[in-house]
Amino acid sequence: MAIEFGLDTFGDITRDADGQLLSGAQTIRNVVAQAEMADSVGVDFFGVGEHHRKEFAVSSPEMVLAAIAARTERIRLGTAVTVLSSDDPVRVFERFSTLDAISNGRAEVVLGRGSFIESFPLFGYDLRDYDALFEQKLELFVELLKEEPVTWSGTMRASLDNANVFPKTENGLRTWVGVGGSPESVVRVARHGLGLMLAIIGGSAARFRPFVDLYHRSVASFGTTSHPISVHSPGHIADTDAEAWDAAYSGFEAMNNTIGAERGWPPYSRARFQNDIGPEGAIYAGSPDRVAAKIADTITTLGLGRFDLKYATGTLSHEAMMRSIELYGSEVIPRVRALLDARS
């Protein structure tokens, strides 16, 4: 099976050479440039996340992806993730089918419940409905993927009676569901016959092997379509280990401490960072050789069809991210493929 390699960003607000925070507008323009770099060095997929808070510039990924589509040629474009629970499935499908047309069939969508909750009150949703919102809206989205008139009813949005949605895609819309690691979520993805994307942001990748096995068993049990499994994990690449670690640490520290203050996490430390970049951690940071070896181990352990590196975390500079993207495409991906070929 051909392995795909992607890059993900949340559009983190970064700093300039003088240490000043960039504007959200400049950050978005930088994301477009980063995607152009990814396309030029042979990366297979570029994902843009949706957030509604000051640390992240992108609240409307499809707009950014449309701009990227006009300036790239081959790279597939999608989200990381689209918060379906606080959006409308019909509008999500319409936006992505439009993106698919603009990009000449390169669009895909990664749906999720959202690990941040700002979008719920912003768009008038009750957090007490967190689970029901996602379950019902995902059910409707799966019906929309058939691209036929839809009749559907639920309690979380207005019913549809033989409704047709436009534009149609030319070859369907590739759809994944981002999962943080609950068995119920994995079974739901299998039941709907969608792709499973595991967000591994802490601990060893090997801990997620039971979820991979559960997905395959569930697909067989439901008789649905099996898809390649993908992993999304953070990291950073530089010419040497020391350079990568020194550049990445401040960004990971800033982001973990900002979010951790809201969620009751202990302060981030260099010792924790060193553990996270080790064999049992979820950060893929270092030289091309080190990162390639760790990615190859993860792909082998979990039997993946795609690996997505979340290359932007915290206030890491645009210039450092551009170099990381360049090394990922030109050095890491070829080395991973060589390692996998040798093992097979």
**Domain-by-domain residue ranges, the chain?**
4-331
DSSP letter string over 179-214?
Answer: E-S-HHHHHHHHHHT-EEEEE--SS-GGGGHHHHHH
Give the per-residue pLDDT at 137: 98
Give the H/E segment covering residue 230: strand 230-237
Give the per-residue pLDDT at 189: 98
Q: What is the DSSP letter of 118?
A: T
* Closest alpha carbon to 227 in 169, 176, 152, 278: 176
Round to whole Å and give the CA distance between 150 and 90: 10
Round to whole Å and give the CA distance between 334 and 324: 15
For the chain, how many residues are written?
A: 344
**Contact (Cβ atoms closer than 8 angstroms) between residue 79 and residue 107:** no
Tokens 């409308």 sit at which residue? 88
Predicted confidence pLDDT, tens digits, the chain (344 residues) = 699 999 999 999 999 888 899 999 999 999 999 999 999 999 999 999 999 999 999 999 999 999 999 999 999 999 999 999 999 999 999 999 999 999 999 999 999 998 899 999 999 999 999 999 999 999 999 999 999 999 999 999 999 999 999 999 999 999 999 999 899 999 999 999 999 999 999 999 999 999 999 999 999 999 999 999 999 999 999 999 999 999 999 999 989 999 888 989 999 999 999 999 999 999 999 999 999 999 999 999 999 999 999 999 999 999 999 999 999 999 999 999 999 999 98
Give the per-residue pLDDT at 1: 65
**Residues β-bridged to residue 233:** 309
Q: How many CA atoms lie within 13 A of 189 on its CB side?
A: 32
Give the per-residue pLDDT at 26: 98
Class for the domain spanning 4-331: alpha beta
**Contact (Cβ atoms closer than 8 angstroms) between residue 13 and residue 56:** yes
Give the per-residue pLDDT at 96: 98
Round to whole Å and give the CA distance between 322 and 319: 5
Give the per-residue pLDDT at 114: 81
